[in-house]
Chains A and B, each alone.
Chain A
Amino acid sequence: MNDDFRNVYRELADDARNYSDPERALAVGRRRRRTLLAAPALAVAVAVVAVGTWVTVRPSVPTGTPGNQATEVTTAASSPVPTLSPPPTAPALPPGAVGRASFAYAGCRSGCPGLAVVGDRQFIIPGQERNPGSSAMLLSLSPDGRWLGYPAGDGYVVRDLTGTRTMAFPPSESGRRTAAWFWSADSKRLLVSDFREGNDNTYTLVDVLTGSRTPAVMPAAGTPLALTNEGEIVSRARDQQPEPVRVLTLTVSAIGDATGRSVTIDASAILAQNESLLPGSVLVDPDAGGYLLGVGTADGISTGVLRVAADGRVVERVVDLPRDTRNREFWNVLGVNGDGLLLSRQTNDTGRQATTVVAVTGKALRDLVALPHESIVAVPGASAR
């Protein structure tokens, strides 16, 4: 054996930097997946001349199952959709009151600064010198748009956009980071995570009005998914329900309760054959006290949203998302705030590339604002997507 060389060779490894950027890898992976999906459709589309811009879309998901009364999604050409892009020079977010933000975004997946949109003004969000891509993914806005959360070094800052209050969340030790995980729908509570990459996250429940912080005990091996107004954590047992799932068991637990109560959502009857639940898209329904739950294909393409009662009973399909037969549009569930459910639609057509924030009103979809393609968007009440 060649121990001398082995030693020198291994020492050389110490010179390596950390080249891992999971967000960039995910963005590339998504683009490639979409390209793969779109390729067969493009071959057909060559022979097709598309006519008309605004259409009534009949969802492709089969209807007629219980609680799924023929959802009709309509988009109307009532007015042009406002577009928004990062200004060449945006001011830094100043200290003090600026007003509630309507949303925050970064204009690309990697390397673009986060911007807070307040009225018709845009402010650069500070603290993103380190890895702007993943920093943008950690942006967070309270449902009422008052509190903005953003990374600051390895720690995290939540500041009041209507005043001067600022809360800092330093990591518990070197090598860990902190970030806002979930807001309660009433904007009064926030779950902050202290994490290092792995499964040893710890959580703190924050009362943003009083500033009090309470360590949150999670059910064993649970992944938190949402936070209720009562400060209960909605979680899902990790590793027990591999995707795709059509029956999802949630655990709802009070702070300090390591057990909680189980809520089983059996969506088998309402899902189409190729659909499954998207456990990463669980939202607490602020109107009904239950949950809103995204559904999609095995490839993770969102196809709709279900409304689920607090006891786990599936109430209805809130919306069926138009499925572009050419696979040039993809949807994400962004969040829910006082105006209702908010989605994003990423359009990949050449010349029309954009990420559009879409509101769900009744059964209708309404485009709110078009952002640059592959923007990362944080709407009130949700972390960035």
Chain B
Amino acid sequence: MSRADRYSGFREFADANGAALSRAAYLLTGDHQAAEDLLQEALARTAMHWLRVEAGGNPAAYVRKAMLNQMRSWRRRRTHGELLGGAPDRPARGDVAHEVAQREVLAAALASLPPRQRAVLFLRYYEDLSEVETAHRLGCAVGTVKRHSHDALVTLRRLSPGLSNQSTTAEEAQ
């Protein structure tokens, strides 16, 4: 039987873009299991409307938007309290183990943020959208984006001391 069925394009798309979409899902959640849930949910929604999505010409954008929408509807899964005390001592620069540990702490801190704040960080710092574009994408005011970004960075700085204080302070000043 042919595998070149109506969903062969979907399979090809998902396989070709799986890694990139997985990176986005991970940054949107900070948690592997949640990232898998998020991406799979978005892919299932995409599969249901594949012909229309494919005809739209940008399935990857559709999946990313589906992830953002889905994530915003999820309730927070963790509390800040789970992370306190998790930050390691800061060892010498270039220490790979330290970098890994720092990323783990950052991921955990990221996972602790409200979904809206994570979405803002993703759009601002991964997709490089402006505050205006981010606000448009999320359907909120620019001021809301600024507030979410500020609050997120403050929280991350508090929970992940490895982050540059200087840089987050700069963001606060905006």
B51 lies within 8 A of A243 (CB):
yes
Question: In chain A, residues 109-145, which have Cβ atoms closer than 8 Å to a Cβ of chain B?
Answer: 137
Interface size of A by CB at 8 A reads 57
- Neighbouring B residues of A10 by C-beta, 8 Å: 125-126
- Within 8 Å by CB of A29, from B44, B162, B167, lies B44
A281 lies within 8 A of B39 (CB):
no
Chain A interface, DSSP helix/strand/loop, else mixed: mixed
Determine if A157 is an interface residue (Cβ-Cβ < 8 Å).
no
- With A5-B163, A280-B5, A283-B1 known as contacts, the answer to whether A22 contacts B125 (CB < 8 A) is no
A26 lies within 8 A of B18 (CB):
no
Interface size of B by CB at 8 A reads 58
- Neighbouring A residues of B32 by C-beta, 8 Å: 16-17, 19
- Within 8 Å by CB of A182, from B2, B26, B44, lies B2
- Neighbouring B residues of A54 by C-beta, 8 Å: none
Cα separation A253 to B162 with both chains bound (whole Å): 62
A16 lies within 8 A of B35 (CB):
yes
- Within 8 Å by CB of A25, from B23, B43, B102, B126, lies B43
Cα separation A242 to B25 with both chains bound (whole Å): 30
Q: How far is the CB of A1 from chain B (nearest CB, A)?
A: 8
B5 lies within 8 A of A281 (CB):
yes
Cα separation A205 to B102 with both chains bound (whole Å): 51
- Within 8 Å by CB of B6, from A181, A196, A280, lies A280
- Neighbouring A residues of B156 by C-beta, 8 Å: 5
B2 lies within 8 A of A226 (CB):
yes
A278 lies within 8 A of B5 (CB):
yes
Contact with A along B26-69 (1 / 0, CB 8 A): 11001010011001100111111011000100000000000000
Question: In chain A, residues 208-250, which have Cβ atoms closer than 8 Å to a Cβ of chain B?
Answer: 223-226, 236, 242-243
A-B contact pairs, 10 of them (CB 8 A): A5-B153, A16-B27, A18-B18, A20-B19, A22-B11, A22-B18, A26-B44, A197-B12, A224-B2, A383-B1
- Top 3 nearest A-B pairs by Cβ distance? A280-B5, A197-B15, A20-B18
